[in-house]
Chains A and B, each alone.
Chain A
């Protein structure tokens, strides 16, 4: 598997030199599922003091295809309230779908999510949250998101 080296490299870097102190690799037992703890790296009152758990599933075609990324609800790991994050942890973010390119990495996705949270001032879920989670597929990549206004 040709891309394996890249995945190993990414993992190694994330372990030893994460982009900032608020991104922590918790576990990546196989190379396929990675658990990462994420905090905002500013003082946004909506999220300070909270830690969120991100799960990355790295498919066989990564990095040609995007990873499957979502927040996981755990004790002491809530799903962040955000107009682009559904209460089941699914995230509506263009770079995880159509706009994915292989130069993105797990770390760069974490940074994007960090800034998405850091810049948010709306304490609310997507307007279609209730409807979405009722019918949502297990894999958020199967959802054709109509990307919400990304100025939010």
Chain B
């Protein structure tokens, strides 16, 4: 890279206003700063509420505590990132950029690995990646020739033709048609010569033979692969968002929970496939909980008064007639409704439970009770988890009213738009607290008895109490809002610190590997 290149990428705006520039560090971070230029402090200017004045602002932790270092990547950033990798490999291997890109694509964009492999093994690497020749290639469309016949359409009088290093030549019309089909099927750098030989059709050839729309599709397929190849990057799961987030910390470290937040406000975990903020639950615990929810969803009918669990498989049985002989449809167990004992012991003579033995009954009851107890325990946590989920949905309704309230306050001359900015910020705190709160129930469910557990439960209780407190404030009619502003601000700053405390307590335990979970 030349000096002129370097200077050209800093436009005037990116110089610090005081004019100082640390040239040394700029130089060092060259590669990186191009791509992962540190974002400025997250400014909520992209929301619907205009710029936030700092004096009024309630500072919102947009991202989870442990993942404060993340970078949202627009499609252009992704392209720049790929280009920077390609340039680097190309420079160090002296390969043409399209060859470098093909090698990167084949080896999951592991830049250093690609460079080392090529320098060690040379052209063998090119062959394996689908480049049959290392002669310099010019991607050009050939003029019509009398001796040429296209092997796809068998036309002899075609205008123009194209071929790769493998020599399989067909007319440009057929080539374009072929590429169109492949690109529409999500092909990118895996598209091979139409002759079904191993030669890859490289990017410059694709660009030569396709229109803008197909090129865009081709490029986005490449981007998808690029993001997938990096375990610290993930596409934002919000539909049609099209941005990705990159973590600037290790996402494989089990003691961090890298919750990302996209510019579109979608939150998701970079280390697992849960598309929301699951703090304070470690990924594994959160996954266990979600699995539990799935498993138990059928068992829920248990709680209804008219059902009893099959003593063998716990499948809920509903008694719909007078007969006490129950035949479980799930496991085929025959049992007595009254005592839950084996039906065979009741004899075939009558349909009454006449086998009542206190010992047996007690034993049966014990096993049922144990299962019941387990379920009750689960239900305790589940109800609270679910309740916060439901409340979050109700809160969303509240949120829709906030703008209206702000408008009313303004119209009635009670508060300026700026003065009422604390409402949306407070709402964000409420939303966050609920989100954390609901996952605390998942965490607590798996938590084994230990002294730290009591502290956790205390934190949880405290967070819950004040979350509901804030939630109540949002139910005020608009004319009570100005008087409650201080109250809002107090509650928010308290909640914020409580949430932080709770999460930090959990994280500290994770770092020290102190938490003991139930199996």
Q: Which A residues fall within an 8 A CB radius of B?
A: 1-3, 5-6, 9-10, 61, 63-64, 100-103
B272 lies within 8 A of chain A by Cβ: no
CA distance A101 to B197 in the complex (A): 8
Among B152, B173, B194, chain A packs the most CB atoms within 10 A around the CB of B152
- Quote the shortest CB–CB distance from B407 to chain A (angstroms): 57
Give the distance to chain A from B71, nearest Cβ to Cβ, in Å. Answer: 41
The residues of A that contact B174 with a CB separation of less than 8 Å are 2-3
Give the 9 A-B CB pairs with smallest separation, nearest first.
A2-B177, A6-B153, A6-B154, A101-B196, A9-B154, A5-B153, A2-B174, A103-B151, A2-B173
Residue contact A3 to B151, C-beta cutoff 8 Å: no
Residues in B neighbouring A100, C-beta threshold 8 A: 196
For the complex, give the distance between the alpha carbons of A63 and B178 in Å: 10
B195 within 8 A of partner (CB): yes
| A151–B197 alpha-carbon span in the complex (Å) | 24
Could you tell me the distance between the alpha carbons of A64 and B153 in the complex, rounded to whole angstroms? Answer: 10
- Chain B residues with Cβ below 8 Å from A5 are 153-155
- For residue A65, which residue of chain B has the nearest CB? B196
CB neighbours (8 Å) of B153 from chain A are: 2-3, 5-6
The dominant DSSP class at the A interface is loop
Which residues of B lie under 8 Å from residue A1 when comparing CB positions? 177
| A103 with B177: CB separation less than 8 A | no
A6 contacts across to B, CB distance below 8 A = 152-155
CB-defined interface of B127-163 with A at 8 Å, one 1/0 digit per residue? 0000000000000000000000001111100000000
In addition to A2-B176, A3-B177, 4 A-B residue pairs with Cβ atoms within 8 Å of each other are A3-B174, A6-B153, A101-B197, A102-B194
Interface flag for B242 (CB, 8 Å): no
B181 at the interface (CB under 8 A from A): yes
Closest to B158 in A: A5
Central interface residue in B154, B155, B177, B181, by most chain A CB within 10 Å:
B154
Please name 26 pairs of A and B residues whose Cβ atoms are closer than 8 Å in the assembled complex, sorted by A: A2-B153, A2-B173, A2-B174, A2-B176, A3-B153, A3-B174, A3-B177, A5-B153, A5-B154, A5-B155, A6-B153, A6-B154, A6-B155, A9-B154, A10-B154, A61-B181, A63-B152, A64-B152, A64-B178, A64-B181, A64-B194, A64-B196, A101-B195, A101-B196, A102-B195, A102-B196
* A105 closest partner in B (C-beta): B154
B171: nearest chain-A partner, CB-CB: A2
Across the interface, do A102 and B151 meet the contact criterion of CB distance under 8 Å? yes
Q: Which residue of A lies closest to B185 (CB)?
A: A61
Q: How far is the CB of A43 from chain B (nearest CB, A)?
A: 34
Question: With A and B bound together, what is the CA distance between A101 and B198 in angstroms?
Answer: 12
The complex places the Cα of A61 from the Cα of B196 at a distance, in Å, of: 13
A48 to nearest B CB, angstroms? 34
Q: State the CA gap A70–B397 with chains docked (Å).
A: 62
The distance in angstroms between the C-alpha atoms of A6 and B155, with both chains bound, is 7
Contacts of B195 in A (CB 8 A): 101-103
A64 to B196, CA, bound (A): 8
Instruction: Give Cα distance in the complex from A102 to B395, angstroms.
Output: 61
Bound-complex Cα distance A101 to B199 (A): 13
A101 CB to nearest B CB, Å: 5
- Name the CB-closest residue of B to A100: B196
Nearest chain-A residue to B155 (Cβ)?
A: A5
| Contact A2-B152, Cβ < 8 Å, known A61-B181, A64-B178 | yes
Per the bound structure, the CA–CA distance linking A61 and B187 in Å amounts to: 15
Task: Determine the residue in chain A with the shortest Cβ distance to B177.
Answer: A2
Within 8 A of A (CB), among B162-179: 173-174, 176-178
Give the nearest-CB partner of B196 in chain A: A101
Residues of B within 8 A of A61 (CB): 181
State in angstroms the CA–CA spacing of A100 and B194 once bound together: 11
With a cutoff of 8 Å between Cβ atoms, the chain B residues found around residue A3 in the complex are 152-153, 174, 177
Q: Which residue of B lies closest to A1 (CB)?
A: B177
In the bound complex, residues from chain B placing their C-beta under 8 Å from that of A10 are 154
- Chain B residues near A64 (CB-CB < 8 A): 152, 178, 181, 194, 196
Q: How far apart are the CA atoms of A10 and B151 in the complex, in Å?
A: 12
Measured between beta carbons, the chain B residues less than 8 angstroms from A103 are 151, 195
Q: Provided the pairs A3-B177, A61-B181, A64-B194 are in contact, do residues A102 and B154 lie with their beta carbons within 8 angstroms?
A: no
Minimal beta-carbon separation of B184 from chain A (angstroms): 11
Chain B 188-209 against A: per-residue CB contact (8 Å), 1 yes, 0 no? 0000001111000000000000
Q: Which residues of A contact B176 (CB under 8 A)?
A: 2
- B194 proximity list for chain A (CB < 8 A): 64, 102
Residues on the B chain within 8 Å of A101, using CB: 195-197
In the bound assembly, the distance between CA atoms of A5 and B174 in angstroms comes to 11
CA A100 to CA B152, docked complex, whole Å: 13
Query: Bound state CA distance, A138 and B389, in angstroms?
Result: 49
